[in-house]
Amino acid sequence: MSKNVIVFVTGNVKKLEEVVQLFKKFYEGSPVPFHLTNINIDLPEHQGEREEICTLKANEAFKIIKGPCIVEDTSLCFNALGGLPGPYVKWFLKPVGPMGLYRMLQGFEDKTAIAVTTVAYVDKQGKVTIFNGETNGTIVEPSSIETFGWDSCFKPDGYEMTYAEMSKEQKNLISHRMKAMLKLKEFLDQTLPI
């Protein structure tokens, strides 16, 4: 096992599975320079801009973990609504589900959206570095296939299927989460001791 341990702070099992798969793919054929563990900490839900929210969450996580950690915040930004629900999509999704998100845009011609993952990495000194990944797409009537979150109503540009209808491998090639985590991987490759 590597001497570098990084804790991914999430209680979302599906998100954890996705991130573990991504790092395995990123380092395919090479040794991973760190060991990724997980802890479920109930961090405060901050309000503000995406990067501000993620930085605040990262600082809270570091106070508890006292070592290198990753926090992630995912947003779904409807262009017709000026970027809402954005980082608050989790709170919209809970009561209305993917169908409710789709219905929010019924009165608008513009159904485009941007899926954004913001990742904050905190090093052993407590310094926070932010990485963003974005995927453009369209909000569509939810497919009958459910995976998690709003995957069933988000169709990425250039595809005729939603995230939910894609295989995990296919989604991981284009997702907003993959793009943010790839930037994190490239940063860690440059900064972690081997």
pLDDT tens, 115-128?
999 999 999 999 99
**pTM score, two decimals?**
0.90
150 is in an annotated binding site: yes
74 is in an annotated binding site: yes
Is the pLDDT at 179 greater than 70, yes or no?
A: yes
Mean pLDDT of 44-67: 90
Is the pLDDT at 17 greater than 90, yes or no?
A: no
pLDDT score, position 168 = 86
42 is in an annotated binding site: no
57 is in an annotated binding site: yes
Is the pLDDT at 10 greater than 70, yes or no?
A: yes
11 is in an annotated binding site: yes
Instruction: Report the alpha-carbon distance of residue 145 to residue 136 in Å, rounded.
Output: 21
Per-residue pLDDT band for 3 (boundaries 50, 70, 90) equals low
148 is in an annotated binding site: yes
> Domain segments of the chain: what residues?
4-191
Q: 4-191 — its CATH code? A: 3.90.950.10
37 is in an annotated binding site: no
Is the pLDDT at 1 greater than 70, yes or no?
A: no
Range 136-139 contact pairs with CB under 8 angstroms and sequence separation of 24 or more: 136/112, 137/112, 137/113, 138/111, 138/112, 138/113, 139/78, 139/101, 139/102, 139/105, 139/111, 139/112, 139/113
Range 53-56 contact pairs with CB under 8 angstroms and sequence separation of 24 or more: 53/87, 53/118, 54/118, 54/119, 54/120, 54/130, 55/120, 55/128, 55/130
Task: Please provide the average confidence, as pLDDT, over all residues in the chain.
Answer: 91
Mean pLDDT of 24-37: 85
Instruction: Report the alpha-carbon distance of residue 182 to residue 153 in Å, rounded.
Output: 24
Closest CA to 90 of 112, 71, 75: 75
103 is in an annotated binding site: no
172 is in an annotated binding site: no
Q: What is the pLDDT of residues 134-145, one digit of tens each?
A: 999 999 999 776
Instruction: Report the alpha-carbon distance of residue 133 to residue 117 in Å, rounded.
Output: 5
Is the pLDDT at 20 greater than 50, yes or no?
A: yes
- The pair of structure tokens assigned to 57 is 């969450």
Mean pLDDT of 95-113: 95
86 contacts 115 by C-beta, under 8 angstroms: no
Bigger pLDDT: 148 or 125? 125
Q: Which stretch of DSSP H or E encloses residue 102?
A: helix 89-103
pLDDT score, position 48 = 83
pLDDT score, position 43 = 81
Is the pLDDT at 8 greater than 60, yes or no?
A: yes
